[in-house]
Amino acid sequence: MIAFAVFDGSVDGFELASAIGPGLAKSAMMMIVDGNERDLSFRIEQDCNVVIITRKDAVALDLIRHDCAHVMAEAVTELYPETQVTIGPAIENGFLL
């Protein structure tokens, strides 16, 4: 975790990761700002604690599964308009279908 101080204006998560290093910016997937999950476009406008999540972090697989579930639900409802989408978390070994 890094403590981040904003001195003038604001910065988004990708800009912050890029300022730390190009490798981090390339592998960054999301961030946690003061305990709240945020995407990299979230603007940081005040001093805060930031954790930048990369594909190497344990939470990364859950994030990918969650995003894929949204894409899959959109595709299924496009193909089969009568489909009713429910909500539920990704499970340990993949998706709950």
**pLDDT means per 10 residues in the chain (97 residues)?**
68 92 96 95 90 92 86 94 84 65
3 state DSSP class of 86: coil
Q: Rounded to two decimals, what is the model's pTM?
A: 0.73
Structural domain range at position 92? 58-97
> Residue 17, class by beta-carbon neighbours within 10 Å (0-12 exposed, 13-18 middle, 19+ buried)?
buried
Which helix (H) or strand (E) segment holds residue 30: the answer is strand 28-33
Residue pLDDT, tens place only, 61-82? 888 888 888 898 999 999 999 9
Q: What is the pLDDT of residue 52?
A: 95
Q: Which amino acid is at 24?
A: L
Query: Is 48 found in the same domain as 15?
Result: yes
Q: What is the pLDDT of residue 42?
A: 96
60-76 b/e with 16+ CB inside 10 Å = b? eeebebeeebeeeeeee
Query: Is 75 found in the same domain as 49?
Result: no
Q: How far is CA 82 from CA 22, 47, 73, 76, 95, in A?
A: 45, 47, 12, 10, 21
Query: Is 24 found in the same domain as 39?
Result: yes
Query: Is 50 found in the same domain as 10?
Result: yes
